[in-house]
Amino acid sequence: MARGRPRKCDPEDVFDKALTLFWKKGYAATSMNDLVVETGMAKPGLYANFGSKDDLFTKALRHYFDRFLSTLGKEFAEADAPIDVALRTLLLGIVRASKGDTLCVGCFLLNTVVETTGTPSELRDLSREMGERRRKMLRDRLRRAVLAGELRQEANVEDLAQFISGQMLAIAAMASEGADRPTLERFAENALAVLPLARAA
């Protein structure tokens, strides 16, 4: 096994570094040369392993979003915690992800959605679709909470999901604006303060 010249770089490492750079600089501002410097893999290697710049970016965004779904998302959607606890965990998780110590600042998905708003493209469609999946995750969980009697029967699940989705975006945007972590955590708490209005008596 492993015939031929051995690899210099682990493609997974390269992929992670590429994702990080795209996250930091965005699609347009990141050149293939930047990626070569950052990852240590020469250009033909990048194309052989990941396809075009567009392909690589798309894969990176998908990976980023899948990771969100399988960690914070899964925890939120599946855990048995009461709805208010689940929502608090989710928002504080977003704070941690948006302003981690070692990671990038902000949200890769929001960055992409903003960068691609102006012109129709597959990337724009993809990033918007991810937003829709996020809202669906919220709706499903909130609906469960209504059925479980945690939220009022008349609670507007659609609007509530949109509201929480907006708070997630707000946290990422404020992180990009330079807000520090305590500020974001207080914001999350204040955002959760509307919840009692929907809670069952």
Partner DNA sequence: CTGATTAAATACCAAGTGGTACTAAATTGA
Partner DNA sequence: TCAATTTAGTACCACTTGGTATTTAATCAG
What residues line the site for DNA (CB under 7 A)?
1-9, 30-34, 41-45, 47-48, 52-54
Binds 52: which of a copy of itself, DNA, none (CB < 5-8 Å by kind) = DNA
Which partner in a copy of itself, DNA, none is near 150 (CB below 5 to 8 A by kind)? none
Cα gap 84→35, rounded to integer Å: 42
Residue 201 sits in the site that holds a copy of itself (CB under 8 A)? no
Q: What is the three-class DSSP state of 2?
A: coil
Ramachandran angles phi, psi of 180, nearest 5°: -90, 175
Measured from the CB atom, the residue of 1 and 201 that comes closer to DNA is 1
Q: Tell the residue number behind the tokens 């479980």, with chain if given.
A: 148
Burial class (CB in 10 A: 0-12, 13-18, 19+), 19: buried
Identify which of 102, 76, 81 has the alpha carbon closest to the alpha carbon of residue 164: 76
- Told to check if 18 binds a copy of itself by CB under 8 A, we report no
| Nearer residue to a copy of itself within complex by CB, 56 or 174 | 174
138 binds a copy of itself (CB under 8 A): no
Q: Is the dihedral of CA 115, 98, 186, 158 positive or negative?
A: positive
By the criterion CB under 8 A, which residues form the site for a copy of itself?
A: 23-26, 28-29, 104-106, 110-111, 113-115, 117-119, 128, 131, 159-160, 162-163, 165-167, 169-174, 176-179, 183, 186-187, 190-191, 193-194, 197
